[in-house]
């Protein structure tokens, strides 16, 4: 658990990083694609703040927020997106394919879930006491392998937490066009307890996550945490089909920075903002000057 200042710090760090990414993409500094976490910061901050040193995180194409909340460096992530030798994976993976300490991400929907189950099984066998947390989205629920994984995770009593960040839209397809039935019932059918929140308050999410993670750890049983959330930016760069009025309403009601920021003193916010704005600038400039990788280095 971390205090609300730290939660805000974590979320503001993600927000400013992602805003810089979108700005600089327009200027051609980055190559490839990206999927920003803007609007969903309370999920990463709230859940990852509850993890212990030995815990494992498996994440997806929208992984910058999880990486930064886990303590990943801004320079390394900027450099990875720029295709530099100093990137998280020396430029080999790019935005969606990161490995840092006990955090792993991959860009194909669904396949990361059985991998997280296998990691939970390995940690259980080693007796490490680690909980494995896998982050998926509502779109991922369309993949059959998710349900194979839930079956095995429950059957083998794995210390696995599945966090569903339901932003109600998969690329451009709303959940109403892609999802039948109930999300919690999907997990409950396998004997996995599911908790659902509809909240962008990082402190509330952290309180729920703390309890669930501690239960997963002590009982060595899987659980699911369904976090209804709002993605403020496009799926990747410019491909948003939602209306501006609808988005403005959501941003006014569900901005995790505004929600938690209202409970911090103005001076505290100023300090955090200044510190992180400087960090973003310095990390970006350093990454920009970093060397390119060569094929020879990969052999």
Partner 1 sequence: MNKSLLDSLNSALLAALTEDERVLLLGEDILDPYGGAFKVTRGCSTAFPERVFTTPISEAGLGGVCAGLALRGMRPVLEIMFGDFTTLLADQLINHISKFRWMYNNSVEVPLVVRAPMGGRRGYGPTHSQTLEKLYLGVPGLTVAAPLNFDLPFSGDCAGGLLKKIILEGNSPVLFVENKLQYLLPMLGAFELKDFDVTVSYGADDTAKRYPYLTLAVKGAPAARLTLTAYGYMAELARQAQLKLAYEDEIFTELVVPTRLAPFDLALVIESTAQSGRLLTIEEGTGTLGWGAEVLARAAERLPGIHAARVAALDLPVPAAPALEKAVLPQVEDIIAAVKKMV
Contact (CB, 8 A) for 39 and 255: yes
Specify the residue, 97 or 273, whose C-beta has the smaller distance to partner 1: 97
Specify the residue, 98 or 234, whose C-beta has the smaller distance to partner 1: 98
* Binding test (CB under 8 A) with partner 1, winner from 10, 121, 161, 169: 121
Specify the residue, 150 or 276, whose C-beta has the smaller distance to partner 1: 150
Contact stretch for partner 1 (CB under 8 A) within 41-49, 65-73, 108-116, 170-178: 108-116
Specify the residue, 190 or 273, whose C-beta has the smaller distance to partner 1: 190
Residue 76 Cβ, how far from partner 1 at the closest point, in Å?
A: 11
CA 218 to chain centre: 24
* Binding test (CB under 8 A) with partner 1, winner from 69, 77, 117, 164: 117
125 touches partner 1 by CB under 8 A: yes
Site for partner 1 in 136-165 (CB under 8 A): 144-145, 148-149, 151-152, 155-156
Q: DSSP labels for the chain? A: ---HHHHHHHHHHHHHHHHHHHHHHHTT-S-S-----TT-HHHHHHHHTT--TT-EEEE-SS-HHHHHHTT--HHHHHHHHHT-TTSTTTTSS-TT--EETTEEE-SSTTTHHHHHHHHHHHHHHHT--PPEEEEEETGGGG-HHHHHHHHHHHHTT--EEEEEEE-SEETTEEGGGT--S-HHHHHHTTT-EEEEEE---HHHHHHHHHHHHHHHHHHT--EEEEEE----S-SSSS---S-HHHHHHHHHHH-HHHHHHTTS-HHHHHHHHHHHHHHHHHHHHHHHHSPPP-GGGG-
Size of the site for partner 1 (CB under 8 A): 38
104 touches partner 1 by CB under 8 A: yes
113 touches partner 1 by CB under 8 A: yes
Specify the residue, 155 or 253, whose C-beta has the smaller distance to partner 1: 155
Contact stretch for partner 1 (CB under 8 A) within 66-74, 102-110, 262-270, 277-285: 102-110
Residue 248 Cβ, how far from partner 1 at the closest point, in Å?
A: 38
Q: Which residues bind partner 1 (CB under 8 A)?
A: 56, 58, 89-90, 92-93, 97-99, 104, 106, 108, 110-123, 125-126, 132, 144-145, 148-149, 151-152, 155-156, 298
């Amino acid at each position: 658990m971390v205090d609300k200042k730290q939660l805000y710090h974590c979320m503001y760090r993600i927000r400013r990083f992602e805003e810089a990414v979108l700005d600089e993409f327009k200027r051609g500094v980055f190559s490839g694609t990206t999927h920003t976490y803007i609007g969903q910061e309370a999920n990463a901050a709230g859940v990852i703040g509850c993890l212990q040193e030995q815990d494992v995180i498996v994440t997806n194409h929208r992984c910058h927020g999880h990486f930064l909340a886990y303590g990943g460096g801004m320079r390394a992530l900027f450099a990875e997106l720029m295709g530099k030798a100093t990137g998280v994976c020396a430029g080999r993976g790019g935005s969606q394919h990161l490995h840092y300490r006990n955090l792993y991400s991959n860009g194909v929907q669904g396949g990361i879930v059985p991998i997280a189950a296998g990691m939970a099984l390995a940690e259980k066998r080693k007796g490490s006491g680690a909980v494995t947390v896998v982050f998926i989205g509502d779109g991922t629920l369309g993949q059959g392998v998710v349900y194979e994984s839930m079956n095995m995770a429950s059957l083998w009593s794995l210390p696995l937490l599945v966090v569903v960040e339901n932003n109600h839209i998969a690329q451009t397809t709303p959940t109403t066009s892609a999802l039948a039935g109930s999300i919690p019932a999907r997990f409950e059918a396998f004997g996995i307890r599911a908790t659902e929140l509809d909240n962008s308050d990082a402190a509330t999410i952290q309180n729920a996550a703390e309890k669930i993670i501690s239960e997963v750890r002590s009982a060595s049983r899987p659980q699911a945490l369904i976090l209804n959330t709002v993605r403020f930016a496009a799926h990747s760069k410019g491909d948003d089909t939602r209306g501006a009025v609808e988005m403005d309403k959501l941003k006014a009601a569900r901005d995790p920075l505004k929600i938690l920021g209202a409970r911090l003193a103005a001076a505290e916010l100023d300090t955090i903002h200044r510190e992180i704005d400087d960090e973003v600038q310095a990390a970006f400039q350093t990454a920009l000057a970093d060397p390119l990788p060569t094929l020879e280095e990969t052999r």
